[in-house]
Amino acid sequence: MLTILFTICMIWFIGKFFVFGLKASWGILKLLCTVVFFPVILIGMVVGGLVYIALPILILGGIIALAASKS
């Protein structure tokens, strides 16, 4: 009986840490994408001669960031 109780509690405990790990990794991934990947992609597009595509994406990203900071 104690083994079954221990197993149930261990599955619950591991499940909680798994959910916590998913939430933490999602937050880190969002930060990494907005701080590192998005600017590097835009700089690469400008260096590659795609200014006409990079500029509207930059403006759209700025509008989204401005709208997200207001709410």
Full domain range(s) for residue 50? 2-70
Instruction: Report the alpha-carbon distance of residue 37 to residue 59 in Å, rounded.
Output: 16
- What pLDDT, on a 0 to 100 scale, did the predictor assign at position 16? 92
The rounded mean pLDDT for the chain is 86
Instruction: Report the alpha-carbon distance of residue 28 to residue 25 in Å, rounded.
Output: 5
Average pLDDT (9-32) is 88
Instruction: Report the alpha-carbon distance of residue 21 to residue 25 in Å, rounded.
Output: 6
Number of independent structural domains in the chain? 1
Neighbours of 4 (CB within 10 A): 8
Categorize the per-residue pLDDT at 24 as very low, low, confident or very high, splitting at 50, 70 and 90. Answer: confident
- What pLDDT, on a 0 to 100 scale, did the predictor assign at position 71? 60
pTM here is: 0.53
Categorize the per-residue pLDDT at 30 as very low, low, confident or very high, splitting at 50, 70 and 90. Answer: confident
